[in-house]
Structure formats: C-alpha cells, structure tokens
C-alpha cells in the first residue's frame, strides 16, 4: 500500500511529459514505464540534495590558520567592512550595508547577477592569484578592481599557458577567448563526428597522402599505380544513415560522436546525398505533430531509432527505411502519406523492426509501407535490385571504374570458370558473366543472395549460379571435392579474408586472383599468405572510393608463379642398349628409401614384447641423452625438469639400448 501512495504523489503532468498516453499503452507495459520514471526522479532528487549538502559543507569549512590562509568568509567580511566602514554582521543596518556591497560587486562583474556569483567575484578570484599568508592580506581596489582583478597577499605573475597571451603572458578572459577569431572549417561538427578526417585538407593533398600510404604499405609486394581520384569529391554517398534521439524537448538526428553513442545533430553533410539529408530533415520535423517519440538507448523506450535513405545514381529511385524499436507504428499510414506529399520522389518506404540492445542498425523483420520494398540502379551496363540489407557500393562513380578495372585485369576470354567470392548482390559476377564461360557466386547474406538471383534474371544472365554459404567453407568444400576454377574474384569485408580461404584458392588451382579490398592493412596481411602458397602480386591500383576520409579501395592482380626455366629430358625404360631397366630402378629406389621415423611408442612396444616389462618415456630419453643422441623427439623433456629425475635400472638400460640397435638408431 505504501508503494501505491508513493505513486499517486507523482503529478500526472510529470508522466505525460515523458511520453504520450498512446506510447504508454501500446509500446511498453505501463507499470514498467512508471517505475522507471519514479526511479529517475528519485535518483535525480537525491543527487541534487547530495550536491547541495556537499557545497554547503565545503563553504562552511575553514582552513587552518598558517596552512591555507583564511576562509573566503573571513576575506569577504573584511572586504565588506572596508567598503562600508563596518564589520559584516547580522543587524538590519549591517545587512543593508552588505546588500550595498553585494550590489557594487555585481556591477564590477557585468555577467554575475546573483549573490553567489557576486560573492565568487569578490572572493573567488583571490584563490587564483596567490595564497594569503595567514597573518595579513593586502587588498587593492580602484583601478585594479575596475579591471576585474583583486589581489590578496603576494603579487602573482601567471605563467604562459592555456588561456594566456603568448606575448604579454597575461591571462585572457573567457569573453576574450570567445571573441578571438577561429578558423572555420567546411563542417561545424567534423571534429566530433570523426567521419571526414581530411575534410579541411585540399583534395590534391588527400590523394598524395593516400598514395604515399599505399606505397609504404604495399610497395614491398609489387608496383603501386597512381590513385584514381574524383572530379567532384563531395556529396557522393548514395546511402545515408541517421540516428535519432531527443534533446531539450526536441527530436534530433545525426551521427554518433566518434567512439561514443552520443548523438551529434547534423542538418547536412558534405559527403552525403543532399536529397537524402533533406528527407531526413522532413521526417525529423514530422515527429512532433504525429507524437512519435524517438528511441532512448538508456531507458529502452521510444519508437524511432534510425532512418536509412538509399538513392539510385542512374535511376534516381529513393528508398526510405524507418528503423523502429517496436512493430507498432501509430498512424503509420497517415505518416507515410504525409511524407510522400512532401517528397513525391520517394519510390518505396520500409519499416524495419530492431528491438535488440546492440549497435546493429537493422533488425531481422521488415514491413513494406509503400512501394515494392526495393529500388533498382544501373552499374556498368547492368541493372541491380537493392533492398534495405543489401551491400551496394556507396560511391557509384568510383565503383564504375573499380569494377571495370577488376574485369580488365582478370583477362577473361570467354572460356574461363570464374568464382565470385563475397559476391553481395552479384554485381562483379554478373558484369563478368558476359565475358566468361561460367560464374559461381557465393555470399553469406541470404537477402543479398535473393537479390543476386533476381538481378541475374533481370539482366538475362544464364551462366551464373549463386550459393548462400560462408566463402571459406564453400572454398574448402570445392577443394575437398577436387573442383577447379580459373579465376577468383574476391571482395571481402574490411576484416579481409581467411588463411583457410587463401589456401583453398591454391587447392582449386586458380591461375588468377583479383582481390578488391577496402582495408589496406588486412590486404597486406593476406598478400603475405598468397605469396607463401605461390601467388605473386603483379600490381596494385588504388581508388579513392571515400574522399575526405582516410579509407582507400584497392584492386590487386595476383598470378600463380611459373618456373623461370625448363629442362627437357627424354628417358626410355626397358631392356636393350640405351634403355634403363625397370628392375634396376626399383632396386635403387628401395635402397634409397628414407628410413622410417622411430618413435618412443615403437621402442616401448618392442621392449614390452621381447622382455615382458614396460619402460617409461623418461628412461628412454635419459639413455638417449647419455648416448649423445638428439633429444627433439622426447615428449616429456620439459616435465622431467620440473620433477626429481628417476633413473632406470641397469636391466632396463640394456633393454632400451637393444631396442635402439634394432631400429638402427645406434
């Protein structure tokens, strides 16, 4: 009963400030929601109360004389006494004098308007400019007071540092620092976003820096060709993602601050599609009128989490994905209708449900609210279907060059069997199919595989097959079955490929490998593995797929090594002059047959069969050590040293020596 009485003390308005009645009744159990509000309110009140108590105790606390000087109370009362000619006290006359002193203190500090600020102004600055000696304090008012400085004790000269003028060594006020001119960049939130590391760097310098980085990282493997830049390195991203939140009573949208989950509000972005930014801004403005609450990661309440916008480069089609924490979307039909009225260019709208407490943007379930649920675009003369979860390069201009270079380096003549690993929606494989005999695509994402199958049908490509499987497992299965391919096209994620996959490439006898990489570090790692198994990098072609950022896309051509020279020998077997008898070859082969490796297990089995007793491995190791034999075969050598060594009996020593003679070890 006590719990309910506490509950009803909470004003009803307090509850409805947090969420609308519709959200309380439809999205989450109302009692959990109320309990959470009460906890937050109680915790907040306790925190405020504790802070006030701490401040009160700290203000009352006076330092011991001779150590830290007098308290600010003493200094302030002395200052009030000098200003009014009377010592500060509690009588009405003295209180009036104190108020006048407060007023003068406030006038000297134009920004302070309350008594606490005036007191800080009158006494707080004493602490910044030296310590009182505990006996006497000199105070200067007048000109120095007009300059907002009050000195007690010894005169202190501040050292040059943060907030100080480098020439005069004087501290600059906060107002002067704010007035100081600051260099303006192209984006006001670039330092917080962290997405565009090179935004304020001239584009020519960006390309030069990336070229030198690729040369330093990959130059030891092969030649690094000149990087392919863009004519217009802005607003190239055709995929835009915005995270939504709530701040100061208003919905906000933007990006996560670098290495945090703090939302940085963003209206427009220098590398994102401008129409996509405009649509996101429209959605943000509609939330209040439709009473849609944004999702709160801390409490787990709210509806809208993210908005994803994808735009076709050649088709101009636009897909909007609304990521919600619940499948219940109040007034979704009216919301979609209003959004389409403001942006009739939208082709399809999809609701994606993500109720997991993870960093993943998209969930598993989707509902098509308008249109087909996907858009189509054209790349290298082929049409491709793009769904919300499909991987599709975000820079279509550079992608045209990237894939064109990959197909060119593959050197297809129409007779090759090609494997497209990590194929996504089948872009590279479908483009290569017209120049190859057969193409096999493998992709782990089931949605992407479905799109790939549809893309092949849409482009009337019949010599390609797609498999939904892990690329490494698929390659290992091909190698185990003895299957072969001529060319491997691989475009792995930023984490790179696996050693097992690379070794399987050699097992399927691929002559050429085209490695498309978005991670130069992992590319360098994988090239080292390729070289070990006989593949030589022939060249690296960098592509600036992501201008204004530190990322670089690369295409690498690898060819299987061939012998530098050949020696031709004709040998005839049989009986007669000039021929080598087969029997003599067999005898020589038997004579030069390598000896079987003698193991400890073989020695122990021989002794037990001949002498009828067992010997420990440590005994065999000791006999071998005494005979000066190599000890690399002793499995218990380390364990022997950790324990007191046991010595074999003379009988067992002779048995071990007999076994070593039998196996021709001695």
- Whether the CB-CB separation of 292 and 326 falls below 8 Å is answered with no
d(CA 93, CA 91): 5
Question: Encoding tokens for residue 636?
Answer: 């218990």
- Whether the CB-CB separation of 551 and 518 falls below 8 Å is answered with yes
d(CA 72, CA 478): 82
Question: Would you call 543 exposed, middle or buried from its count of C-beta atoms within 10 A (0-12, 13-18, 19+)?
Answer: buried
Q: Is the dihedral of CA 259, 263, 265, 271 positive or negative?
A: positive
Instruction: Note the pLDDT of residue 609.
Output: 87
d(CA 439, CA 382): 16
Instruction: Give which of 623, 659, 652 is closest to 640, Cα–Cα.
Output: 623
Q: Mean pLDDT over residues 445-465, rounded?
A: 91
- Please provide residue 270's backbone torsions phi and psi, each rounded to the nearest 5 degrees: -70, -15
DSSP calls for 310-322:
EE-TTT--EEEEE
How far, CA to CA in Å, does 122 sit from each of 76, 79, 512?
A: 7, 8, 80
Looking at the chain, the number of H-run helices and the number of E-run strands are 24, 16
pLDDT in tens, 506-529: 999 999 999 999 889 999 999 999
- Please provide residue 443's backbone torsions phi and psi, each rounded to the nearest 5 degrees: -150, 140
pLDDT in tens, 397-434: 999 999 999 999 999 999 999 999 999 899 999 999 99
Which residues are within 8 A (CB) of 596 and not within 5 positions of it... i.e. 6 or more apart? none
Q: Kindly report the number of other CB atoms within 10 A of residue 36's CB atom.
A: 16
Q: Is the pLDDT of residue 283 over 90?
A: yes
- Whether the CB-CB separation of 298 and 332 falls below 8 Å is answered with no
Instruction: Note the pLDDT of residue 172.
Output: 41
Q: Is the pLDDT of residue 204 over 90?
A: yes
- The DSSP bridge pattern shows strands 487-490 and 417-421 to be parallel
Q: Kindly report the number of other CB atoms within 10 A of residue 261's CB atom.
A: 11
Q: Name the more confident of 74 and 271.
A: 271
List alpha helices for 27-159, DSSP H: 30-60, 72-84, 92-108, 115-123, 143-146
**Among 58-62, 353-357, 360-364, 593-597, which stretch is predicted with the lowest mean pLDDT?**
58-62
- Whether the CB-CB separation of 501 and 510 falls below 8 Å is answered with no
Is 518 tagged catalytic?
yes
User: Which is the catalytic residue, given 187, 196, 269, 518?
Assistant: 518
d(CA 662, CA 356): 69
**Among 62-71, 303-312, 330-339, 641-650, which stretch is predicted with the lowest mean pLDDT?**
62-71
Per-residue burial over 504-536, b if 16 or more Cβ lie within 10 Å, else e, is bbbbbebbbbbbbbbbbebbbebbebbeeeebe
d(CA 292, CA 326): 12
d(CA 126, CA 105): 14
Hey, which residues does 264 pair with through a beta bridge? 255
Q: Name the more confident of 569 and 409.
A: 409
Q: Is the pLDDT of residue 3 over 60?
A: no
- Whether the CB-CB separation of 404 and 228 falls below 8 Å is answered with no
pTM over 0.75: no
Compute the mean pLDDT over every residue in the chain, rounded to the nearest whole number: 75
Residue appearing with tokens 């409805």: 16
E strand or H helix at 246, and its extent?
strand 239-247
Q: Mean pLDDT over residues 3-9, rounded?
A: 39
- Whether the CB-CB separation of 353 and 407 falls below 8 Å is answered with no
CATH of 239-379, one of 3.40.50.620, 3.30.420.240, 2.40.50.1070, 3.40.109.10: 2.40.50.1070
User: pLDDT confidence of 499, banded at 50, 70, 90?
Assistant: very high
Q: Kindly report the number of other CB atoms within 10 A of residue 175's CB atom.
A: 10
Instruction: Give which of 153, 141, 155, 140 is closest to 70, Cα–Cα.
Output: 153
Q: What does the longest C-alpha to C-alpha distance in the chain come to?
A: 140
- Whether the CB-CB separation of 397 and 230 falls below 8 Å is answered with yes
E strand or H helix at 232, and its extent?
none
Residue appearing with tokens 């006996």: 135
pLDDT in tens, 134-184: 333 343 333 333 333 334 333 444 343 334 343 333 334 444 444 444 455
pLDDT in tens, 581-623: 767 767 776 666 666 678 888 888 889 888 888 888 888 888 8
Instruction: Note the pLDDT of residue 322.
Output: 94
**Among 29-43, 208-222, 245-259, 555-569, which stretch is predicted with the lowest mean pLDDT?**
29-43
Instruction: Give which of 615, 616, 620, 643 is closest to 630, Cα–Cα.
Output: 620
Q: Mean pLDDT over residues 368-389, rounded?
A: 90
Q: Where are the domains of the chain?
A: 2-60, 72-158, 239-379, 395-560, 600-662
User: pLDDT confidence of 267, banded at 50, 70, 90?
Assistant: confident
User: pLDDT confidence of 13, banded at 50, 70, 90?
Assistant: very low
Question: Encoding tokens for residue 461?
Answer: 């490509």
CATH number of 395-560: 3.40.50.150
d(CA 582, CA 478): 38
- Whether the CB-CB separation of 653 and 622 falls below 8 Å is answered with no
Instruction: Note the pLDDT of residue 593.
Output: 65
Question: Would you call 428 exposed, middle or buried from its count of C-beta atoms within 10 A (0-12, 13-18, 19+)?
Answer: buried
Which residues are within 8 A (CB) of 647 and not within 5 positions of it... i.e. 6 or more apart? 619, 622
Q: Mean pLDDT over residues 334-362, rounded?
A: 91
Instruction: Note the pLDDT of residue 297.
Output: 83
Q: Is the pLDDT of residue 108 over 90?
A: no
């Amino acid at each position: 009963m006590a719990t309910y009485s506490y509950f009803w003390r909470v004003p009803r308005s307090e509850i409805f400030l947090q969420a609308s009645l519709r959200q309380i009744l439809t999205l989450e159990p109302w009692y959990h929601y109320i309990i959470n509000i009460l906890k937050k309110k109680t915790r907040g009140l306790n925190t405020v109360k504790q802070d006030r108590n701490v401040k009160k105790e700290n203000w009352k606390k006076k330092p011991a004389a001779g150590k830290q000087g007098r308290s600010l109370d003493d200094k302030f009362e002395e200052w009030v006494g000098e200003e009014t000619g009377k010592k500060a006290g509690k009588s009405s006359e003295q209180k009036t004098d104190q108020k006048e002193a407060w007023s003068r203190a406030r006038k000297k500090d134009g920004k302070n308007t309350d008594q606490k600020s005036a007191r800080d102004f009158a006494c707080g600055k004493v602490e910044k400019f030296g310590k009182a000696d505990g006996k006497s304090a000199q105070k200067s008012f007048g000109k120095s007071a007009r300059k907002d400085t009050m000195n007690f004790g010894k005169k202190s000269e501040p050292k040059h540092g943060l907030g100080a003028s480098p020439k005069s060594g004087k501290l600059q006020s906060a107002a002067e620092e704010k007035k100081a001119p600051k260099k303006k960049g192209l984006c006001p939130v670039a330092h917080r976003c962290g997405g565009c590391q090179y935004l304020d760097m001239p584009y020519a310098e960006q390309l030069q820096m990336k070229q030198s980085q690729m040369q330093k990282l990959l130059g030891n493997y092969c030649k690094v060709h000149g990087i392919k830049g863009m004519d217009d390195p802005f607003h190239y991203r055709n995929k835009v993602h915005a995270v939504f939140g709530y701040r100061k009573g208003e919905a906000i949208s933007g990006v996560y601050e670098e290495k945090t989950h703090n939302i940085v509000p963003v209206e427009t972005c220098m590398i994102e599609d401008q129409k996509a930014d405009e649509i996101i801004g429209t959605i943000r403005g509609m939330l209040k009128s439709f009473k849609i609450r944004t999702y709160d990661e801390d409490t787990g309440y709210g509806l809208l989490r993210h908005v994803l916008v994808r735009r076709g480069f050649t088709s101009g089609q636009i897909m909007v994905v609304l990521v919600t924490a619940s499948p219940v979307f109040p007034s979704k039909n009216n919301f979609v209708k209003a959004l389409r009225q403001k942006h009739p260019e939208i082709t399809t709208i999809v609701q994606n449900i993500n109720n997991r407490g993870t960093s993943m943007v998209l969930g598993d379930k989707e509902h098509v609210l308008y249109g087909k649920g996907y858009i189509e675009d054209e790349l290298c003369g082929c049409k491709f279907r793009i769904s919300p979860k499909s991987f599709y390069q975000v820079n279509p201009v550079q992608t045209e060059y990237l894939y064109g270079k990959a197909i060119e380096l593959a050197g297809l003549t129409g007779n090759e069997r090609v494997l497209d690993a990590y194929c996504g929606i089948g872009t590279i494989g479908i483009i290569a199919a017209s120049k190859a005999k057969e193409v096999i695509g493998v992709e782990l994402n089931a949605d992407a595989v479905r799109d790939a199958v549809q893309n092949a049908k849409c482009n009337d490509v019949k010599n390609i097959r797609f498999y939904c499987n892990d690329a490494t497992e698929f390659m290992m299965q091909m190698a185990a079955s003895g299957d072969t391919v001529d060319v491997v096209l691989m475009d792995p994620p930023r984490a790179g490929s696996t050693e097992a996959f690379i070794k399987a490439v050699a097992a399927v006898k691929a002559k050429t490998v085209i490695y498309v990489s978005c991670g130069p570090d992992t590319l360098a790692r994988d090239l080292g593995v390729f070289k070990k198994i006989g593949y030589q990098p022939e060249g690296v072609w960098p592509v600036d797929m992501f201008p204004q950022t530190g990322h670089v896309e690369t295409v690498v051509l690898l060819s299987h090594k061939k012998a530098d020279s050949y020696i031709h020998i004709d040998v005839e077997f049989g009986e007669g002059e000039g021929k080598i008898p087969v029997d003599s070859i067999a005898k020589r082969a038997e004579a030069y047959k390598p000896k079987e490796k003698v193991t400890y297990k073989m020695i122990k089995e021989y002794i037990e069969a001949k002498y009828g007793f067992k010997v420990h491995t440590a005994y065999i190791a000791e006999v071998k050590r005494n005979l000066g034999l190599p000890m690399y075969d002793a499995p218990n050598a380390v364990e022997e040293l950790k324990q007191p060594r046991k010595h074999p009996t003379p009988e067992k020593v002779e048995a071990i020596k007999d076994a070593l003679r039998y196996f021709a070890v001695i």
